[in-house]
Structure 1
Amino acid sequence: MTTALIEAPARIADAAPEAGAPARAARWPHLVAAGVYLALGLVVMGRYLADPNGTLTPQVPADHTWFQWLLSHGAHVVRHLENPLFSAAQNAPDGVNMMANTSVLGVTIPLAPVTMLFGPRVAYVVWMVGACAGTAMTAHWMLQRYLVRSRAAAFLGGAFAGFAPGIVHHANGQPNFVSNFLIPLIVAAVIRLGIDGRWRRDGLVLGGLVTWQLFINEEVLLVTAIAGAVMAFAWAAFRPDEARRRWRSFGAALGVTAVTAGVLCAYPIWFQFHGPGSFSGMPAFNTWGEDPVTWVTFARDTVAGSPAAELTQGRTEQNSWFGWPLVLVLTVITTMLWRRTAVVRTAAVVTGVAAVLSIGPALRFGGELTAIPGPQALLGEDFPVLNLAMPSRMTYAVIGAFAVVLALAWDRLPARTVRAAIVLALVPLIPQPLPAMPDGAPPRFITSGTWRAYVPEGKTMITLPLPSNWAGRDQLSWHAWARHEYAVPEGYFLGPDPDGAGHMGPTHLSRTTVLVHLTIEAGAAPAVSAEDRSAVRAEVARWNGAVVVVRDTAGDRAYRDLAEQLFGPGESVDDVWIWKLDL
């Protein structure tokens, strides 16, 4: 996409209104596009609209609840004017380094008014619809302004950028990988770098966008940076004369970008890697590679897909899953446009490099892990920059390249057969409403505010089970609902293990968590020894616990039995059992 501005003026004449035309005549196609994108976003989240407070994804329910918790974090930060980079609400008394986690502050803070007015569950659905539609709209704007003359071409490319199978798949509980609305703006800013001599302004704009994206999704920003570097080198190879003319102004603007983003991001990045709760890396998360067979497979959440594909290819992240018709059509039109435009050649290079890097340390093929080494094994698992991202997510660069080629093909190859082939390849990828399941409301003890009488300021509420990556999702949702107005021990987050590497949850496994785990495995509370009781009471004292809380349901009876062994007889309050602590 970097070459787009070289091949077209800063504003394509056919994309601008004719002299004297009413402004609304120029705006209405964009408004129609925005309306269609919004409607598609509502389709994707259709099963959540009737009852957003009582609906949950069955795909990754813990992640879904985590992002609701993050929305409450953003609202809590705004309401209390606290440091957004750290939260004392989970993992009390140690807290959580939010920069070392997927904090999405670039979205949760702007959405704070929605969260405060309607709650995190409603705000989550608003976020997801807006993320899909917003990404499609910014891609539509970028394509229309810098790349294509046809409004239909820009609409098509925008729709693919916002609703590609790999994007929609992450709408199952991972909105940080759906919130890509800044990426087209970043690409547009790169296109403009130093083009008209205003390199200072261009660098400042790009630096600001990069900083905002850092607070939305660092991994997507990293993928964009790698793809941008590949684009720049490919462009220089395909258009050496233009590269020689632009390198000084482009380099100067890029320098301003680096200084701007460096100044704005220096402290947050330092805090991420050196602040309290930081860790050195996540070795278990950077080995997940993309299976090449999935490129020609239809994703589950498309009209042509079904859950059966997951049984064949494995239930991995569906970052590609483009379907064989689209891969075939894009191969043909790339061949047709190869000599006509350096943009397509650049997009093809980006696709090739990203596809190879997405394989990861070992090739997966047809759902099976092979002994064939991938690029990460050849480069080394600790290869700088690449070791910070999950390999399969490099496919996001392919989604952007595909959106560009689709828009260019519609714009430059107006033959009916070509356009019909594009439509037929895209129809199977139309998204279906995402699967959903009921999610019960928190107990009245939480929603009515009764808990406030039992948890003084500076104390914590100890729920059984405690929130973690394998249990306590429901209890984490209580915390989100209560807007972080009380603190909980342990939790669902990334933190350092005893060796300083990243892992899920607190540094040390508590005896309380061990006993809860045994309860879950057996379906009944284990016999508690005097040693267990002493260890748990010491943990409760360290956590500064005020009260232990268990739901009053048949499914939670085993936790109640465990709590009675640990703390004695409980008290029924509203729809929970409580044990007031005075240790």
Structure 2
Amino acid sequence: MSTALIEAPSRTEVAAPEANAPGRPARWPHLLAAGVYLALGLVVMGRYLADPQGTLTPQIPADHTWFQWLLSHGAHAVRHLENPLFSTAQNAPDGVNMMANTSVLGVTVPMAPVTLLAGPRVAYVVWMVGACAGTALTAYWALQRYLVRSRAAAFVGGAFAGFAPGIIHHANGQPNFVSNFLIPLIVAAVIRLGIDGRWRRDGLVLGGLVTWQLFINEEVLLVTAVACAVLAFAWAAFRPDQARRRWRSFGAALGVTALTAGVLCAYPIWFQFHGPGSFSGMPAFNTWGEDPVTWVTFARDTVAGSPEAELTQGRTEQNSWFGWPLVLTVAAVTVALWRRTEIVRTAAVVTGVAAVLSIGPALRFGGELTGVPGPQALLGEDFPVLNLAMPSRMTYAVIGAFVVVLALAWDRLPARAFRVAIVLALVPLIPQPLPAMPDRVPPRFITSGAWRAYVPAGRTMVTLPLPSNWAGREQLSWSAWAGHEYAVPEGYFLGPDVDGAGRMGPAHLSRTTALVHLTVEAGAAPTVTAEDRATVWTEVARWRGAVVVVRDTAGDAAYRDLAGQLFGPGTQVDDVWVWDLRGRY
């Protein structure tokens, strides 16, 4: 959400007259807005509600499972009072730097009671519904309190903040980009810094919000910081007299913010970049840019969208897929409001800057690379701050600017035609229930706790396949289901390669996983050599493996054959096959 550093109206100026009418509770509109937002969140996750334990996104299933694993990580840290910045549940014995990954501790730790009571798969669905509805509600609160008089205007803006097409697209397995409920509060706090002389309090509040957001999504926080910097300079250019009056108190409050967030975040940030398992960067991560044609394209998960659009535009993150009616409507109301308020002019500046930056290092048009260099190429790939974010996600600032323009247009343009146009532009963007597919629950060997008899303290469970970014997604879900009570080698995470740069998974590909890859590619286990067997046993010894586990299903028969060649005859235990390695090395 983006707006301008304005002299905020008083609470009575923004209060909707109809909300305070005799015999009508003032809170009724807020409760109605919250109810509608919650209902929309349930629609989005509708295909998951009947069976949250056995449902998975078909879009990015590995990320879906990863965030379930993160919920278990937060719950495990709370339950055992452990350091949540690091985990030994994956990549044993080296562990995983959780600050260097999308750990989302700002959500998973508060949600620990839900995860412990209902399990990570149910908690995931609760999280996603709450993230959509919560973001819409905080945007609604900020708009009706500080910007618009009409509760209906605030409702429209809040609905777009929580359910914009780009946000819903990330709901396919990436709740960290849906959990934006702090962003409207952060922007409102920036706008209010020192406005009434209480610069210490304002700085402390903003510092606390920034710290919390750091533990939810650093990339969205970075985009928000860039957007706030742009809007601050734009507002100062549009209102130089007010800027001169406010710069001292604003600067003092900003200093308190920096000090507060710096003290609270110093160790976690140090741990992220210098702690065990840290890395220097992700090569090619910041090269994904937006295509201008997608701005007028309907996103797949909206009522007007369809998967066919992805055939021409590519299966990219649909951050800017606003659809042509909304783009035209925002442009029209921006022109209509241009002379009336500097807020809209500031929002237009934020939109323009963010749209340009979102193009990335090379211009794409209609799904094809044009060869025309983008702004990132002109600025340089190592341009400070911007080199830490994926360019296409700068469009989040555009979503915020659209929120402000839509709310102001509804509130301040007298012609009913504008409101009709806004409704007609937003109706095609109503989200559809997200696609879903069945997911197997872990074997009874895991869910019953029978595994405990085979994995003593300090030892690990070796599953075939091992969790990775290529195979073993299901085995990672076993770890999540078991609450991280046992450790696994390798895994699905970001860590350093041999040169210290970031990569998916451990620095070295194990021979065990290489043999699994050959098994998957051929559909049958390869012939294991004596050298293979010796190498795998060396790896198992390093991992402190206590038991090898393979599902007892026809689809896992090749893995069972591979394990038999490596470890000898196995034993069937309930619905798995096990190879007890204790005392064998």
Question: Which residue pairs with 2:84 in the alignment?
Answer: 84
Q: Kindly provide the CA deviation profile for residues 189-229 of structure 1, in whole angstroms up to 9, marking residues without a partner as x.
A: 11110011110000000000000000000000000000000
Where does residue 141 of structure 1 map in the other structure? 141
Counterpart code for 2:551: R
The aligned counterpart of 2:513 is 513
Which segments of 5 or more consecutive residues in structure 1 lack a partner in the other structure? none
Q: Distance in 2 between matches of 1:121 and 1:3?
A: 37
1:492-511 equivalences in 2 (<5 Å): 492-511=492-511
Q: Distance between the aligned counterparts of 2:203 and 2:439, measured in 1?
A: 46
Distance 1:119 1:227, change over 3 A: same
Q: Is the 8 A contact 1:2 1:191 kept in 2?
A: no
The answer to whether the Cα contact below 8 Å between 1:88 and 1:487 also exists between their aligned partners in 2 is: yes
Root mean square deviation of aligned Cα: 1.4
- The answer on 1:30 being equivalent to 2:40 is no
How far 1:21 moved relative to its partner? Answer: 6.8
Matches within 5 A, 1:90-489: 90-489=90-489
- Structure 2 gap ranges (5+): none
Q: How many residues align?
A: 583
Preserved contact between residue 12 and residue 149 of structure 1 (Cα < 8 Å): no
> Structure 2 CA distance, aligned partners of 1:7 and 1:249?
13
In structure 1, give the amino acid aligned to 2:333. I
CA distance in 2, matches of 1:5, 1:89: 46
CA contact (8 A) 2:3 2:404 kept: no
How far apart in 2 are the matches of 1:197 and 1:466?
58
Does structure 2 retain, via aligned residues, the 8 Å contact 1:3–1:235? no
Partner of 2:56: 56
Q: Determine helix, strand or coil for the equivalent of 1:25.
A: coil
Q: 1:415: Cα distance to partner?
A: 1.0
Aligned-residue offset at 1:283? 1.7
Query: For residue 313 of structure 2, what is the amino acid of its counterpart?
Result: Q
**Deviation of residue 19 (structure 1)?**
12
Q: Is the 8 A contact 1:133 1:162 kept in 2?
A: yes
3-state SS in 2 of match to 1:548: strand
- Alpha-carbon shift at residue 14 of structure 1 (Å): 4.2
TM-score (norm 2): 0.98
Query: Match for 2:434: what amino acid?
Result: L
1:539 aligns with 2:539: yes
CA distance in 2, matches of 1:12, 1:379: 46
**One-letter identity of the residue aligned with 1:479:** S
C-alpha distance in structure 1 between counterparts of 2:349 and 2:387, whole Å: 22
Aligned partners of 1:420, 1:21: CA distance in 2, in Å? 26
Q: Which amino acid aligns with 2:273?
A: F
Cα distance in 1, alignment partners of residues 240 and 510 from structure 2:
61
Report the Cα distance in structure 2 between the residues aligned to 1:427 and 1:60, rounded to whole angstroms: 27
SS of 2:26's equivalent in the other structure is helix
Q: 1:125 to 1:3 in 2, by over 3 A?
A: closer
Separation in structure 2 between the aligned mates of residue 19 and residue 133 of structure 1, nearest angstrom: 22
How far did 1:414 drift?
A: 2.6
Q: 1:13 to 1:468 in 2, by over 3 A?
A: same
Amino acid at match of 1:55: T
The answer to whether the 8 Å contact 1:2/1:190 transfers is no
Change (3 A) 1:460 1:263: same
CA distance in 2, matches of 1:91, 1:22: 63
Contact 1:4 1:147 in 2 (8 A): no
Q: Is the 8 A contact 1:298 1:305 kept in 2?
A: yes
Residue by residue over 1:6-26, the C-alpha shift from the partner in whole angstroms, topping out at 9 and shown as x without a partner, is: 354242524167999789721
8 Å CA contact retained: 2:72, 2:484: yes
Q: Deviations over 1:505-538 (max 9, x none)?
A: 0011111011111111111111111111000000
Cα shift readout 1:34-85 (whole Å, capped 9, x = no counterpart): 0000000000000000000000000000000000000000000000000000
1:157 deviates by: 0.1
TM-score (norm. length: structure 1): 0.98
**Runs (4+) off by over 3 Å:** 1-5, 16-24
Distance in 2, matches of 1:462 and 1:8, equals: 59
1:504 CA drift (Å): 0.1
Query: What is the one-letter code of the residue matched to 1:92?
Result: A
Residue 12 of structure 1 contacts residue 146 of structure 1 at CA under 8 Å; is this kept in 2? no
The separation in 1 between residues aligned to 2:511 and 2:400, in whole angstroms, is 48
The 1:8/1:82 distance shift into structure 2, 3 A limit, reads: closer
Q: Which amino acid aligns with 1:553?
A: T
Seen in structure 2, the aligned counterparts of structure 1 residues 580 and 254 have a Cα distance that, compared at 3 Å, is: same
State how far apart, in whole Å, the 2-side matches of 1:187 and 1:411 are. Answer: 20
Distance 2:9 2:109 in 1: 37
Give, in whole Å, the separation in 2 of the partners of 1:175 and 1:104.
9
